Amino acid sequence: MMTTAERLHEIRATIDAALGAVQADRGASPVLVAVVGEFANKAAKAVSQDDERTSVIELEQAGDSAKAAVEADAGASEATNRAVQAAHLAICVLKART
């Protein structure tokens, strides 16, 4: 069984992939890029913190913001939308398991 720390590392990879998709998407707004960038920053911080519970809560909040931002961004591609939604879902699943 995977530990929370191991799951956080996997989720960070998913979030980093979403950030890459957003950054490559010419239709994505600067706001979306910034919000997903903050989500990625929180993920980087989460994997190095000792307090995993707080990390999960902070990541969930950042994920909620990223999800709302991608849903509001009419210029974002479907691939970008799917990547951000997947990153959001990953942290939600982790929170449900902890």
pTM for the complete prediction? Answer: 0.93
pLDDT at 84 over 90: yes
Domain count across the chain: 1
Considering 1-15, 19-33, 39-53, the range whose residues carry the highest mean pLDDT is 19-33
Q: How many CB atoms lie within 10 A of CB 91?
A: 31
Q: Which domain holds residue 45?
A: 4-97
Q: How many CB atoms lie within 10 A of CB 28?
A: 22
pLDDT of residue 59: 94
Contacts of 63 (CB under 8 A, 6+ apart): 15, 39, 87, 88, 91, 92
For the chain, helix (H) and strand (E) counts, in that order, are 4, 0
